Amino acid sequence: MAGEGDSEPEKSFKLLGFLDVKNVPCARESVLYGSVGSLVVGLGHFLATSKYLHLLHLPVCLFVKIKSFIFSVSPCRVRRSCDFAVGGFICTMLGYWFYCRYNLAQQRIRQRMLKEGMRNKMLFEGSSFDPEKNQTGNERSNS
C-alpha cells in the first residue's frame, strides 16, 4: 500500500501501449535481443541474396562495394529481407523470452526452497530433526 512520504513509483514505458518493458522481468531484454535478431537476420538475408556477394571477398574499395550493392537492389529482395527481419524479430524475442522466464522460474523455486530451509533450520535447531545435528553425529560415529 502506498503511504505518505514514499518516493514516486517508477515510471513505466509501455510498448504498443500495453507491454510495460521496464517493470516486467525479461521484457526489456527480449525486445532488445529481438531487435538485434531482426537486424541480423534481415541484413544477413539481404547480403546473402546479393548478386555481388563475391565482391565481399575481393579487396575492392568500400565505395565500389556500396555502389554495387545499391544498384543490385530490387524491391522484391528488399521486401523478402523485411519479411525475414520481422520473422527474426518475433522468433528471437519469443525465444529469449522463454529462456529468460524459464531461468526466472527456476530461480524463484530455489528461493522458495532456501526460504523453507532457513525456516526449518530455525524451527528444528537443536531438536532431533536438525540435519546439522544428525550430520555431526554421523561424523563422530565415522571418526
Partner 1 sequence: MANHSQLGFQDASSPIMEELIEFHDHALMVALAICSLVLYLLTLMLLEKLSSNTVDAQEVELIWTILPAIVLILLALPSLQILYMMDEIDEPDLTLKAIGHQWYWSYEYTDFKDLSFDSYMIPTTDLPQGHFRLLEVDHRIVIPMESPIRIIITADDVLHSWAVPTLGVKTDAIPGRLNQTSFITTRPGVFYGQCSEICGANHSFMPIVVESTPLKHFEAWSSLLSS
Rule CB under 8 A: say whether 5 interacts with partner 1: no
Q: Least Å distance between CB 73 and partner 1?
A: 16
List CB contacts of 93: < 8 A, sequence separation 6 or more: 30, 31, 33, 34, 37
List CB contacts of 87: < 8 A, sequence separation 6 or more: 41
By beta-carbon proximity to partner 1, the closer residue of 55 and 82 is 82
Helical H runs in 49-74? 62-71
Determine which residue in the list 53, 86, 113, 114 makes contact with partner 1, applying CB under 8 A: 86
What are the φ and ψ backbone dihedral angles of 20, each rounded to 5 degrees? -80, 95
Rule CB under 8 A: say whether 30 interacts with partner 1: yes
30 close to 20: Cβ distance less than 8 angstroms: no
Helix axes 75-124, 27-48, angle to 10 degrees: 150
Rule CB under 8 A: say whether 90 interacts with partner 1: yes
The window from 12-20, 53-61, 65-73, 123-131 that contacts partner 1 (CB under 8 A) reads 12-20
Determine which residue in the list 13, 22, 24, 117 makes contact with partner 1, applying CB under 8 A: 24
Separation of alpha carbons 107 and 105, rounded Å: 5
By beta-carbon proximity to partner 1, the closer residue of 95 and 133 is 95
Where on the chain is the footprint of partner 1 (CB under 8 A)?
1-2, 4, 9, 12, 15-16, 18-20, 24-25, 27, 30-31, 79, 82, 86, 89-90, 93-94, 97, 101, 105
